[in-house]
Amino acid sequence: MAIVSFETVHRKTRAGRSTEVRRSLKQLIMLGELPPGAALLELEIAARFACSQGSVREALLALQDEGLVIRQPHRGTRVSDCTAAEAQEMFRLRHSIETRALARALPNIDADLVEALRASVRAMEQAARDNDEYALSELDRAFHRRLLAAADLPALEPILHRCLVHNQRFKITRSGAARDLEKTAARHWTIVNAIESGDRDAAVTAIGHHVATIVDPGPEIFPDINRMPMTTPARTDSLPKPTAEMQAMLDRLAREDAGLPDPTTIPPEEGRALAERKNARWQVEQPEMETVRTFAVPPDPDLETTGNAVMLFRPPNAGSGAILFVHGGGFAFCSLRTHERFMRVLAAESGRAVIGVEYRLAPENPFPAGLNDVIAAWRAVQADPAAYGIDPGGLVLSGDSAGANLALAATLHEIEASLPVPDGCLLFYGTYAVDFSTPSYNDFAEGFGLTTAMMQRYWDWYAPDAGARSGPLAAPMAASDDAIRALPPLHLLVAECDPLASDTHALAARLKRLGRDDDMRVEPGVVHGFLQMTQHLAAARASVSAAAMAANRFLEDANKNGRND
């Protein structure tokens, strides 16, 4: 926390006007540099700030309105207490105001306000990186007051403001808990994403959970708030369940993998070997290809890549154009070998060549190493398709899970650089935001293969720097509306019983809000990674077929409109 002395504040506020005095004293009180009970002498403050006593008096009256000081006739002014009892009641009051207000405000929230909220969270993240706790608290209060303003309840604004001030002061000076500024800022993305989805229940739940979990000083202070059922929206139905076919596969995996460790809890090299071993069971009865060949992508000095491999799967009588595919594996595991059957099936279904991309893996090679490898491969194949064994005719970029993230991020990168972009993207159950409190992360946290804890570890490996992971090239949902609007046509696939399902639902909702009409297929009763199981699951085969049709449509439309001339 930045330490602010009375003298340094004086140097920052030489104008000496009432507003500057109020802001400076408020900062000292909020950060605990002026503790409860500290006397505030008008003559001393006026001398230090080189202003009149009248200016000081106005500042102290404004601070009294915020509940930060107490003025008593003939006894002077002192800094107010910040008690746990008051904190408890203000948290309760704030919870009631903010949840009800957001329910009322949601129909009034438009694209401009959502973008303003996103900009506000990005500003909070910057303040956190600057270790400026006071600036972060000001931005935080402004975020919540903006939401209340959308509800058109002006009489409640001063009440909420005082609650916000007291709650933040309590958190900073009295809660005793270690304060992670970057986590404080990032917590607001859950609210923004829920609002953007247009789901009233999800938005109200998000804001309620946010308020109820600001501090956790123990049940002796917040005995009821700690038990508030705010982690997931209230459901009117039971959780989706795996289909009988999917459950049979899960039972088989449970038998075959009994006793094996979670690969994210062992050294990365051991985890990779385990992932290769577990995925080998899917690489059987592979469709025949006319050509299977590995090519080298040269190093790209601009992207600081060292060269990587791509593998061509060309089916018999292949049409022009191709699908560039980026495998998943949490940014850390898997390879072209683990996804070979899937790529062959996609090539056979689409009648187009599929080119798989190898890339450097985390944690040894964190963001943006893997992304830059994907971009380098995209540029190389796009610039000279014949050199990679395909007939010119357009390119679709595709990926599953972490690979879907990399495919989408690569496309956003090229949009920003004003360079050629894919004719379309096939994005299968991707991770697009670093928010582990979404409905699907809660609903499918364990018991469905991929777990929420595994995703947290994957992200820690891939983007350990909080500043990097909050940007759009690591977390594409952080991209601007203009960048999202400029994306080529997308085909999105959701596995219903998947911790990542909410990421795709949120992306689809945002695309729709921006006036786009992109495909989204929700496959009922299947889990993350089900596309690996095309030999066993009818749902996997149907989803690959739908993706192949989308790829063909993207390429045909591009050629019809002359984009690949």
Rg of the chain in Å (alpha carbons): 27
Q: Provide the CB-side half-sphere exposure for 104 (13 A, CA).
A: 13
Residue 423 DSSP one-character state: S
β-pair partners for 40: 77
Does an H or E element contain 447, and which?
Answer: none
* Angle formed at CA 349 by CA 348 and CA 353, multiple of 5 degrees: 50
Mapping DSSP to helix (H, G, I), strand (E, B) and coil, where does residue 497 land?
Answer: strand
Report how far apart, in Å, the C-alpha atoms of 34 and of each of 55, 171, 266, 285 are: 19, 15, 48, 73
Instruction: Single out the catalytic residue among 18, 120, 137, 401.
Output: 401
Q: Beta strand 395-400 with 425-428: parallel, antiparallel or unpaired?
A: parallel
Residue 224 DSSP one-character state: T
Say whether 401 is catalytic. Answer: yes
Identify how many contiguous H helices and E strands the chain contains and give both numbers: 22, 11
Q: Are 185 and 136 in contact (CB under 8 A)?
A: yes
Q: Are 491 and 521 in contact (CB under 8 A)?
A: yes
Mapping DSSP to helix (H, G, I), strand (E, B) and coil, where does residue 89 land?
Answer: helix
Residue 347 DSSP one-character state: H
Give the count of beta carbons closer than 10 Å to the beta carbon of residue 74: 4
Q: From CA 416, how far away is CA 291, in angstroms rounded? A: 35
Mapping DSSP to helix (H, G, I), strand (E, B) and coil, where does residue 4 land?
Answer: coil
Contacts of 81 (CB under 8 A, 6+ apart): 36, 37
Q: Supply 349's token pair.
A: 């279904």
Q: From CA 245, how far away is CA 213, in angstroms rounded? A: 39
Q: From CA 111, how far away is CA 130, in angstroms rounded? A: 29
Return the residue matching tokens 């006071």: 134
Q: Supply 316's token pair.
A: 């018999």
Q: From CA 132, how far away is CA 119, in angstroms rounded? A: 17
What residue type is 34 in one-letter code? L
Give the count of beta carbons closer than 10 Å to the beta carbon of residue 16: 16
Q: Which of 150, 146, 179, 158 is nearest to 31 (CA)?
A: 179
Query: How far is C-alpha 158 from the geometric centre of its chain's CA atoms?
Result: 32
- Give DSSP secondary structure letters for 165-178: HHHHHHHHHTS-S-
Return the residue matching tokens 């917590």: 187
Report how far apart, in Å, the C-alpha atoms of 397 and of each of 3, 33, 428 are: 50, 54, 11
Phi-psi region of 298 (alpha: psi -120 to 50; beta: other; left: phi over 0): beta
Q: Are 172 and 137 in contact (CB under 8 A)?
A: yes
Residue 30 DSSP one-character state: H
Question: Any idea which residues carry the catalytic annotation?
Answer: 401
